[in-house]
Every structure is written in C-alpha cells, then in structure tokens.
Amino acid sequence: MDREKIDQIIDKHHGEASSLIQVLLEIQAANHWLPKEALERVAEKLQVPMTRIQHIATFYKAFSLVPKGRHEIHICMGTACHVRGAPRVLDAAQELTGIKPGETDLDLKFSLQTVNCLGCCALGPVLEIDGKTHGKMSPAEMANVLKNYD
Amino acid sequence: MSEILLKIDGKEVKAKEGMTVLEAARSAGISIPTLCHHEKLEPYGGCRLCIVEIESRGSRRLAVSCVYPAEKNIAVTTRSEKVDRIRKMILQLLLAHAPDAFDLQDLAKEYGADRNRFEKEPSFCVHCGLCVRYCAEVKKKNAVGFVDRGIRKEISFIPEIASKECWNCKECFPLCPTEALQAAYVLVEALAFPSSATGACATGE
Amino acid sequence: MARIKTPVELEELRKSILSTRDPNKPCITLCSGSACNASGSLEVAASIEEEIAKQGLGAEVDVRRTGCHGYCERGPIIVIHPEKICYFQIKPEDIPEIISQTIKEKKVIERLLYTDPATGEKIVYEHDIPFYKYQKRLVFGSNGSVDPKSIDDYLAIGGYSALAKVLSGMTPDAVLQEVKKANLRGRGGGGFPAGTKWEGSRNAPGEIKYVIVNADEGDPGAYMDRSLLEGNPHAVLEGLTIGAYAVGSHEGYIYVRQEYPLAVENVFTAIRQGEEYGLLGKDILGSGFDFKVIVHQGAGAFVCGESTALMTALEGRAGEPRPKYIRSNIVGLWGRPSVLNNVETWANVPLVINKGADWFTQYGTESSKGTKIFSLVGKITNTGLVEVPMGTPLKDIIYQIGGGIPGGKKFKAVQTGGPSGGCIPEELLDLPVGFDELTKAGSMMGSGGMIVMDEDTCMVDVARYFLDFLTDESCGKCVPCREGMRQMLKVLTRITKGKGKEGDIELLEELSETAQEAALCALGKSSPNPFLSTLKYFREEYEAHINQKRCPALSCKELIAFHIDPEKCQACTTCARKCPSDAIIGGKNLIHIVDQAKCTKCGTCFEVCPPRFRAVRKISGEPVPARIAEEARTITRKSKEK
C-alpha cells in the first residue's frame, strides 16, 4: 500500500493519536491487511509507540497482520446460531477448506473467521462470505456454497 | 496537604491525600501482598493479590488496595476467610504458569496454595506487566509490549527497538517474577539480530 | 436547505413537509434492515423500482425503504399503506402482482398474508397479527414509518419536537428532573437510573463533559441496537442532544461496532443531515447551545461494550477496562465527566420529554418503568425484535408473541443477559420481565437478548459456550478473569467430552467465587453467571455428564453415537448418500449401519432419514448395540397381495 494513501488517511483524522483505531480500520478496509510498513508510518506520524500499535492490531479482531485470502468466510457463532447448530457448520467449513478460524489457506483463496453475532438470528445458522450473507446453513450445504467461489 | 483518617485492621492510620489504601497500609507498617505493584510505576491492578475488605457507609465490599483511594472513615480488613481464600486461588492460578517462581514461594506457603491444583500451563508469563510498564513509564523506550487479549495475551519485544536498547539496559530483567521475560528476550535476540554481541548463531534465517 | 434558526421555523418546516404528504396516497413500505437485506430485500427493492417505472406509477405510488420492522422470521416484509396490509417473505417475482392487484385493484393477495398456525385463518392487517398485537412498540414502532436516510420522514412523524421543547424554555435542570421522575433505567445491561447518572456528571467539577452512545452491542443474539440505529438514527441523535443539554456537554460520541456497516452509514448520514438542518452544531435552533457528534467505530472486541473499556478505546488504545472505584460519570473519557448510555436508553429520551414522566411511568413495574426491546431468537417460531412493557411475563413473550417452540419440541430454558446473564427454566416462566426480577432469579436483563432453548440443547454445553466466548473476549489484564476462566473452560470442555471427574463442580464453584469477587470489571465479575445459573437449574445434566458420561440432551459430540435401528431401517439409502464422511455402510435392500470409526457426528443422517421410518437415533451413556449379523441385513420386501 503506498505511503501517500496512508498519509491521506492519517491526515483525514488530523493526525490525532486518539483516532489511531479509526486510522487502522481504514487502512485495513482498503488493503485487507496491515503491512508492517503501514504500521511504522502510522507510528511515526501519530507519534505513538510501536508497542501500542502492535497491541491494538492484535487486540482487536478486525485487524490482520498477515495477508487475507481472496474470499473471507465469516461464520457466526452467536448464541442463537450456536443453539441452531453453528458448530457443525464450522466443522464442515474447516474440513472443506483445510484451515482453522483465524487462518488463510496456502493459495490465499479462503480466510476463515468466526464472528460473534451478525444480527441475522432469524436466519441462523448464518455465514457471510465477501459481505454476502448465507442463511439457514447446514454442514451439507457448506460444500454447495463454497463451490461458487474461486 | 490534608490528612485522611481511616482504620486498617483495627488500627488508626493517618493517610495523606491522594494515597491509595495500599500506600496507607505500608506507611503504617501493615503488610499486604502484591505482585504487579512497583513504587516507580503507576498502580496496575492486574494480579488482584492485594485485595482487601472495605467497609464504608454501612456497606461491605472487596476492593483492590493498590488502586482504591484512601477515604476517611473507611475500615479496611487485610486478612479474612474470604480474602485468604481468594488470594490462595489467585496464587494457585499463577503457580500453574510458574510453579518455581521465587516471589510466589513464600506466599504460597503462607496461604496454603497448592502448586499442583491446576495442570502446568505452557507459558511462564503471569502478565504482571512490570516489564512493559517499566519500559514505557521509566525508560520511555517501549521496547516490549503486550499483544492479543484474553488467554492468548503475551508479551512481545519490538526487534528494531530491542536490538538498539536492550543489551545495554536489561533493567526489567530483575523485575520479572518468572523466567518469561528472559525467555522472550533471548528468543527475539536469536531470531532478529543473529550477529549480536553474544556471538550466538542464528537459529532461523 | 437553509438552517432552521428557531423552534417556530422547525414547526413551519414540519407543517410544510406534511402538507406535501397525502396520508391516503398508496405507499409501499419495504423493510430494508440488515436481516431482510440478507433475505433478499435488496433484490425486492430493485424489482419494485423496475415495476413502478414500467407501469408509469412514479407519481401515484410512494416507496419507502425503512429499517427493521421486527418480524425477522418472515422477512422480507412489505406493508401497504394506508391500509397497513402486511405481506411476508416477499420475492422479487411477487412485485408485479402486488402492484397490479393490491395497489391498483385494492385486492388482497391471500398467499402472501400471515396465516395463523392454529386456525389457518389469514390475517390482513399488521395490528391484528399476534406477533405485533401483543407488543407495545413505543420506541421501535417508528421504524416502520421512516426511511432512515430521510430526516424529513423523521420530522413528519414529530421528530425533533422534544428537542425544540427543551430548547424553548426548559432549563437543563428541568430536563434532568423529568428524566429522573420517569425512572428511565439504562437499557444496555446495568439498569442504572439514567437521570442519576446525568445528574452526577452535571454536578461534577470541570467545564468539559461528554455524552456517549454505546452502540457496541456485543451480546451474541442481540441486535436491537443495530436495528434502532439503522432504522431510526435521528431518534438516538435527538435523545443524545437533549442529554447533552441537561448535562452541560458540547461534545458527543457514538461508538458503533464496525460489524454494523449499515448502522455506521446511516448514522453518518443522519449527523450530516442534522448539521445541515441546524439541529446539530452551533447555536441549535437559536438557543445558543452548541453540540457536535463524532463517530468512532469499534474494531471487534466485545469488552469494549464495557463503559470504561469503551472510553479507553475512544482514546485510541486497546480496550482494557479501568477500575470503577471512581465512577466514569465523574472521571471518564480523558478523565472528564462522561455520561455513557445505551442506544435504546437515548432513543427513549425524546418520548419522556414529549409525553412526560407521568405518561412514561404508566408502563412497567414499580422499579422498571417503560418498555424494553428484546431480541427473541434461538428455538422459537417467531424470531425477531419484540418491544413489551416491563412486567410482561416471560411466558407471554415466548408463547403469545413468539409463537412457542417450533417442531413440536419442548421448551427448556430462555437465556437472558448474554454472556453475563443466566438461564431461566420452565418453572419460572411466569416471571415478569424487569431488571430486579431477572436478577433475583439468577440471570439479568442485560441488553435484551432472549435466547430460547429446547430439549435438544445441552445446558452444560451452553455454559462451556459462554466461557469459550468470554475467554476469547476477555482483555486479559486481571488474573481472576484471564486465568480463572482459562481453567473453568478447561474443566467444562473436559466435562462435555466425557472426561469429567469428581470434584469438578466444586472447583468450578471456587473459580466462580474468585472471578465474582476479585475480577477487575463487569465482564470478569459476571463471567461465571452462565455456569452458576445452569448449575442451579440443571444440576442433573452436569451430574449425568460427569458420573455417567451421558448427555441427556443428546448433543455433546463425544458423548453421543448415531445408531440406525435395524427394525426400522428400510434401506432407502438416503442417509448413506448424504453422509459427508462416507460413514454409512449400506446398499439396496441392506439394513444400513453407521461406521462409528468414521462418523463425525454431524447429524445429517438423523436429519434426512424420512419421518415415516425415523430409523436413526442418537444414544448417549450406553454402548452402541452390537452390529447385527451380515445375513440378517437383507430386507425381504413383502410383495403386495392382490
């Protein structure tokens, strides 16, 4: 990600240290991950220690310090989905992609993540891929859904 | 500076304004166990060992004395069945990580904490935060910090800063109650700067 | 659009907006909340636009895309005004018929109506449908009438009249007293009286004070705040501005989860519109009162819903809570007095001011006034958002409004208060919903999540699930929470895997005490609640898991086995074909057998076995019956007698 774009984001927030999380969120959204150079630039311009940035980048689930896959699978593990069988759906997803939550496969095709409630409880179990919500999932359905992504 | 009058373990104590209950107790020679507390650092309130019973305005509750401000007319009890029970459990939880930690041995004996109550945990670090806070507040170098949260929380050195500052400093090492800090530093040293003064060979790239 | 400079100008603008709106003009209202969007309302919206253009009805028919209506089980939902005809589960293909039949010919389309499950009767109007009929939607009801992206819609239903009332002659103290009199208690979980909190900040030393909206709704299964913020952001802004005036604050923050992109978008739009209209910013309505609102997004941490952690996050740090010995309404954000309240609490404020405390207090119980929005989810027929007066019995919410448990299953428990709450069993279903009542029963109101569980839910697994959630979300700073929950999770996981031992329950109870007494924040202190409440009401399940290695709900994978009853199997081969692990040995006319070594307990065979055979059963706590002999597996079909 080029330095100019990062500077633009930082300047939009007036270089205020309290906007650190907002700045990182924008970089994450634009780039899909937080490269080290980006973090160093933010540390420099916002005048905050690298330890604080590192803590924030690992404390909050929205951030990724490694590149993500082309398709991000988010499986809802909220209580309503859990009660309707979400763990089995997660098992199926793990089986089919070969990765565990928080991981990305070697082809950088899929990234798998669990989410704690997408707010679509009527459709539970729910998963979201690239922003599109798939409701009433079952382990059997998993393969059908993942087939459509390359 | 105005004085605050409170009672600790039945004894009348005069505390200065702005003091915490822990400081007030220590000024009166009353001991309360701590782990994450250090006079040079801001109180942290992480280990909860210094927990005490506080009675104020008719109600009773437990509070962490390193952070709780000394107030007038409160009555503090530093040992009770409940307080002891909680301290014992906290020690047992810590011993699962570092059963041989020097700072924990005497306390364990005093409170009857069983080092085998829980299965041994793989990480030595007890997250007292002394290293992180010392480097940030006293040395102002921020060479080591926390990463992640919950049960995955760890300490982590920033290699670029550590390579410049740590070899000649190491002031945080004696603060660490377990071997975690040294272990983390040695690992970073070996991986990040292979041609360091120790002459150690790189284990990785 | 010129800034509105006085309350009188506001009323004139309102009148002029209303004068252009004909209440008898047909209007298609389409629910466009996040859940309906996920069910296809975006495609339906496109279809409506297309069809209206095709039929040249642009001038005769209004279309309004609103926020969530609440009946999420049946979305996408369309309500045709002015009649209020309610159509459910709309697909894009239904639109041409709706327009030609209902809009043009005023005929009702039966197949799209709600059908009463008991009588089969079709119900036409929204207010007659049981799900809506038994609610009291004082706050949430407006969602169906406004397009959240239109400030004019909000003005048309009387929006900002409370703010105008406040700024045209009420003193900040008068506002405070009204809110105190109404006994508006926080709707985010704590139930702390809002008026008292505001008063504390007002009287605290310091010039600079803050008001904050907690929109970090993290309780899994709860999405009320999302729907309120998405569907009616102006109501929240109006409440916040009134609160700021009462407290003496000129800077407000909205901390909203980044997992709610539509809410974030609509809030930004609402703020921009508010500023354009002069309802936010400098000299609001000519009163001399300045107030600006800044939006911060969360970044995926449940603990940031805790008020001190939220403030720490607003300061640009990792959201670690601070000790609350000095309350944050005195020393909060940047060390200054800060009033933090939940989205729903703020949304109640305009009502309290417009209608008065006396009106507000007619609803609810002695100690819990007003209404509460609940998210009724899980094993329930009518999943959705429900608003009822405090004091409504749980039973009524679950059966009258919720429609009971689907699939003929038996109710087991309802979990309230999220990870900080507990389970209420069947014998307590008459409990009236209220802050103190739920706390006495070992649970809590929390933010309003109500997760219904049935006979297939394992309560030990529920406790384990919440501990798993909390160990992931804990900030990790203090020992009782981080280490205590680490160990509790280990024990509970062992128990669900059949490795429970004597003394486990006592150990869990000890760890619970440590967390409750010594943890730093409310997350840690309430973390043992799910375990303690399930132990209190379902102790026999814990004992079965530990002593008999049996899961009574037939749910815990390691403790159950799937078995095909040889007396019932008819070799239809469905299960063998659908099994994702090739774990069923079978063939034509051969009784099928589950290969226990390969079985992953996914449950597919159990689900797909035809109901007329019901040959697959789950067993627990007993050994799998020995395989029948190979010779016995052949099914000889009886030939039909002539």
CATH of the domain at B60: 3.10.20.740
Please name the residue ranges forming H helices in C91-150. Answer: 95-97, 130-133
Give me the residues of chain C with pLDDT under 70, please. Answer: 638-642
Largest CA distance in chain A: 51
Residue B201 has pLDDT above 60, yes or no: no
**Residue of chain B minimizing CA distance to A48:** B142
Same domain, C487 and C573: no
Q: Across C112-258, where does the E strand assignment appear? A: 114-115, 122-123, 210-215, 251-256
Domain count, chain C: 4
What is the pLDDT of chain B when averaged over all its residues? Answer: 90
Question: Same structural domain for residues C447 and C488?
Answer: no
Across the A:B interface, residue pairs with CB atoms under 8 Å apart total 31
Query: Does the beta-carbon distance from C473 to A116 stay under 8 Å?
Result: yes
Tokens of C127: 């207010």
Count, residues in chain A: 150
What is the C-alpha to C-alpha distance for residues C448 and B98, in angstroms, rounded to an integer? Answer: 41
* Residue B98 in domain: no
- Which of 237-266 (C) contact A at CB < 8 A? 258-260
B121, part of any domain: no
User: Is the pLDDT confidence value at B200 over 50?
Assistant: no
pLDDT in tens, C278-331: 999 999 999 999 999 999 999 999 999 999 999 999 999 999 999 888 899 999
Chain B residue numbers with beta carbons less than 8 Å from the beta carbon of C318 are: 146, 149
Sort residue B75 into left (φ over 0), alpha (ψ -120 to 50) or beta. Answer: beta
Tell me which residue range forms the domain holding C418: 371-454
User: What subunits touch chain B, counting only 3 or more CB pairs under 8 A?
Assistant: A, C
How far apart, in whole angstroms, are the C-alpha atoms of residue C155 and residue C461? 48
- Fill in the DSSP letter of residue C397: I
**Residues C376 and C480 placed together within one structural domain of the fold:** no
Give me the torsion for CA of B126, B132, B134, B136, rounded to 10°: -160
Give the gap in angstroms from C-alpha A132 to the nearest C-alpha of chain C. 7
In whole angstroms, give the CA distance from residue C233 to residue B9. Answer: 54
> Where are the domains positioned within chain A?
3-59, 71-147
| Minimal C-alpha gap between A104 and chain B (Å) | 18
Instruction: List all chains that touch chain A, counting a touch as 3 or more CB pairs closer than 8 Å.
Output: B, C
Are C38 and A123 a contacting pair at CB < 8 A?
yes
Which pLDDT score is estimated for B194?
56
From residue A46, alpha-carbon distances to A24, A65, C312, C586 in Å are 11, 19, 17, 66
Distance from CA of A57 to the nearest CA of B (A): 8
| Mutation for testing the C interface, residue in A52, A82, A144 having most C CBs under 10 Å | A82
Q: Mean pLDDT check: name the lowest of A54-63, B194-203, C165-174, C327-336.
A: B194-203
Q: How far apart are CA C112 and CA C98, in angstroms?
A: 9
pLDDT computed for residue B196 by the predictor: 45
> C341 and C200 share a domain?
yes
The answer on B70 and B134 residing in a single domain is no
Residues C440, C293: one domain? no
Which of C468, C481, C485, C514 to mutate against chain B (most B CBs within 10 Å)?
C514
Alpha-helical segments (H) within chain A: 3-12, 20-31, 36-46, 50-59, 79-83, 86-97, 139-147
Is C629 buried (19+), middle (13-18) or exposed (0-12) by CB count in 10 A?
A: exposed
Q: Are both C493 and C436 inside the same structural domain?
A: no
Please indicate whether, in this complex, the C-beta atoms of A133 and C72 are within 8 angstroms of each other: no
Q: Residue C113: inside a domain, yes or no? A: no
- What's the domain count of chain B? 2
C257: left (phi over 0), alpha (psi -120 to 50) or beta: beta
- B120: nearest CA in chain C? C487
The verdict on C200 and C336 lying in the same domain is yes
Residues C583 and C521 placed together within one structural domain of the fold: no
Does residue A119 contact residue C230 with C-beta atoms inside 8 Å?
no
* Contact between C230 and C34 (Cβ < 8 Å): yes
CA-closest candidate to residue A61, choices A114, A129, A117 = A114
CB contact under 8 A, A52 and B145: yes
Looking at C219-370, which runs of residues are DSSP E strands?
251-256, 292-297, 338-342
CB contact under 8 A, C35 and A124: no
- Name the band, by pLDDT with cuts 50, 70 and 90, for residue A1: confident
Q: Kindly state whether residues C322 and C179 are assigned to the same domain.
A: yes
Instruction: Kindly state whether residue C257 falls inside one of the protein's structural domains.
Output: yes
Q: Cα separation of C69 and C140, whole Å?
A: 8
C221-248 pLDDT, tens per residue? Answer: 899 999 999 999 999 999 999 999 999 9
Q: Does A47 touch chain B (CB under 8 A)?
A: no
Q: Is A92 on the interface with C (CB under 8 A)?
A: yes
If asked whether residues C407 and C266 sit together in one domain, one would say no
pLDDT at residue B203 tops 50: no
Check if B156 contacts A (Cβ < 8 Å). Answer: yes
Residue B115 lies in a domain: no
Give the whole-angstrom CA distance, residue C140 versus residue C138.
6
* Helical axes C172-182 vs C343-355, angle rounded to 10°: 100
E-assigned strand segments in C106-157: 114-115, 122-123
Q: CB pairs under 8 A, 24+ apart, for C110-116? A: C112/C87, C112/C88, C113/C86, C113/C87, C113/C88, C114/C74, C114/C86, C114/C88
**What CATH code is carried by the domain that includes residue C526?**
1.20.1440.230
Shortest CA distance from C484: residue in chain B: B93
Answer yes or no: do B136 and A59 touch at CB < 8 A: no
- For C344-379, the pLDDT digits (tens) are 999 999 999 999 999 999 999 999 999 999 999 999
Q: What number of other Cβ atoms are within 10 A of residue C83's Cβ?
A: 15
Q: Is residue B160 part of a domain?
A: yes
Same domain, C243 and C194: yes
Pick A71-147's CATH classification: 3.30.70.240, 3.40.50.300, 3.40.30.10, 3.40.640.10. 3.40.30.10
Mutate to test the interface with A, among B140, B146, B154, B188 (most CBs of A within 10 A): B146
CATH code for the domain of C347: 3.40.50.11540
Percentages helix, strand, coil for chain C, rounded to the nearest 5?
45, 15, 40
**Does A54 reach chain C within 8 Å, measured CB to CB?**
no
Domain span at B136? 130-192
**Which residue in B143, B146, B160 is closest to A55 by CB distance?**
B146
Residue B158 distance to chain A (closest CA, Å): 7
Query: Which chain A residues are closer than 8 Å to B192 by Cβ?
Result: none
Contacts of A79 in chain C (CB under 8 A): 220-221, 377-378, 415, 418, 449, 451, 465-466
**Contact between A121 and C218 using a beta-carbon 8 Å cutoff:** no
Q: Specify the amino acid at residue B169.
A: C
Q: Residue C546 in contact with residue C500, Cβ under 8 Å?
A: yes
Q: Chain A residues with CB inside 8 Å of C316's CB?
A: 16-21, 48, 56
Closest CA to C373 of C403, C400, C342: C342
pLDDT in tens, B85-134: 999 999 999 999 999 998 899 999 999 999 999 999 998 899 999 999 99
Q: Looking at CA atoms only, how far is residue C40 from chain A in angstroms? A: 10
B86, B151, B152: residue with CB nearest C518: B86
Contact between B86 and C520 using a beta-carbon 8 Å cutoff: no
Task: Of B34-38, B167-171, C287-291, C346-350, give the lowest mean pLDDT range.
Answer: B167-171
